[in-house]
Structure 1
Amino acid sequence: MDYMSAKEAAFKWGISKRRVQTLCAEDRIKGVSKVGMVWVIPKNAEKPEDERLKINKD
């Protein structure tokens, strides 16, 4: 399986590297793992929904 870094995922998904790291730490990206101090994300991983947004939530 091919992997990408948090920086590559951030570019691919249009979000910050720090946000990707947070998503990894919260285990919100399927198949993510940490090797030493680096997050490795499967290249076919989907960007998780942003639960911070409050669109039409009552």
Structure 2
Amino acid sequence: MEYLTIKQAAEKWDISERRIQVLCREGRIEGVKRFGRAWAIPNDAEKPVDARVTTGEYRNWRKKS
């Protein structure tokens, strides 16, 4: 099986290397493996859907009464 580095996956999916590291750590990329400090991402892995909240839904949540 062919693997990609974090840098190669970042270029392929057009997102930052740091974001790829976070996705790997959270287990959101299928088949990812860790070798020491490096991550190995399968060549055929698909880019995960961005599940971050961008609508501002949680903004000022304490002020709601």
Output the TM-score relative to the length of structure 2: 0.80
Letter in 2 for 1:32: V
The CA distance in 2 between the partners of 1:33 and 1:26, in whole Å, is: 12
- The equivalences for 1:1-58 within 5 A come to 1-54=1-54
Give the number of aligned pairs. Answer: 56
What stretches of structure 1 of length at least 5 have no aligned partner? none
SS of 1:19's partner is helix
Aligned structure 1 segments of 4 or more residues deviating by more than 3 angstroms: none
Q: CA RMSD in A?
A: 1.3
Greater Rg by CA: 2
What stretches of structure 2 of length at least 5 have no aligned partner? 58-65
The CA distance in 2 between the partners of 1:12 and 1:53, in whole Å, is: 24
Q: Deviations over 1:1-58 (max 9, x none)?
A: 0000011000000000000000000000000010010000000000000001446x8x
